[in-house]
Chains A and B, each alone.
Chain A
Amino acid sequence: GAGVSQSPSNKVTEKGKDVELRCDPISGHTALYWYRQSLGQGLEFLIYFQGNSAPDKSGLPSDRFSAERTGGSVSTLTIQRTQQEDSAVYLCASSPWVVSGANVLTFGAGSRLTVL
């Protein structure tokens, strides 16, 4: 696609429910990143994918969070047994892979999650 597409754009759920957030990266981008932006805080890294593998999951805040990527394309971030502190905007970004580290990330519009 022309840009990074995320769905849903807004999600309201009850505490304890599971949620899935979807990211459709730019076609051909091999690197995919998930970030979280909580109210009053900066963006924090969650996980990144190179192809279908996730070399760095260090930012996932707990084992309730998981992510997968299939076919080197779409990624799903799953939050199980949601808590109120999970309320945030979840941003996805993709990039063509550049070994030098000079990746320029293109971000999606984000999925706003509200846990009641």
Chain B
Amino acid sequence: KQEVTQIPAALSVPEGENLVLNCSFTDSAIYNLQWFRQDPGKGLTSLLLIQSSQREQTSGRLNASLDKSSGRSTLYIAASQPGDSATYLCAVNTGTASKLTFGTGTRLQVTL
């Protein structure tokens, strides 16, 4: 059974810092991995999708890497801003139906 772990569970950083969120998964047979953002009372917003054949994806200040063989992914956020404050979730897709297995998330707070 696929298990997804995210470390740290919570993180507080001052504005402007670069930071790394970690995600690990137990079964390397994945189709892809997604990083989502969840704001309180709102749904999930997809940030980045990395296919199993890819090593990384970038979008603006966000960069996600994938090391499938070791079962790890990182989300790098450059020059953090207060608006980045949210819970970040990683999810792995291990089936053609895109049924996702989620981690429990990292709650990020960026302070002024």
Contact = CB atoms under 8 A, between A and B. Distances in A.
Nearest to B94: A101
What's the dominant secondary structure at chain B's contact region?
A: strand
Contact of A4 (B4, B43, B105): B43
B112 interface: no
Contacts of A42: 4, 89, 102-105
Given A102-B31, A102-B49, A109-B43, A45 B99 contact: yes
B41 A109 contact: yes
Nearest to A58: B99
Given A42-B102, A101-B96, A106 B46 contact: yes
Contacts of B31: 100-102
- Chain A: interface residue count, which band? 20 to 34
Interface in A27-69: 31, 33, 35, 41-45, 48, 50, 55-56
- Chain B: interface residue count, which band? 20 to 34
A109 B42 contact: yes
A93 B34 CA distance: 14
A105 interface: yes
A99 to B, nearest CB: 7
Contacts of A56: 97, 99
Contacts of B96: 99-101
Contacts of B98: 31, 33, 48, 95, 98, 101-103, 105
Nearest to A98: B98
B49 A104 contact: yes
Given A33-B99, A41-B104, A102-B49, A108 B93 contact: no
B49 A45 contact: no
Interface of A: 4, 31, 33, 35, 41-45, 48, 50, 55-56, 91, 93, 95, 98-110
6 contacts: A42-B89, A101-B95, A102-B31, A103-B93, A107-B43, A107-B45
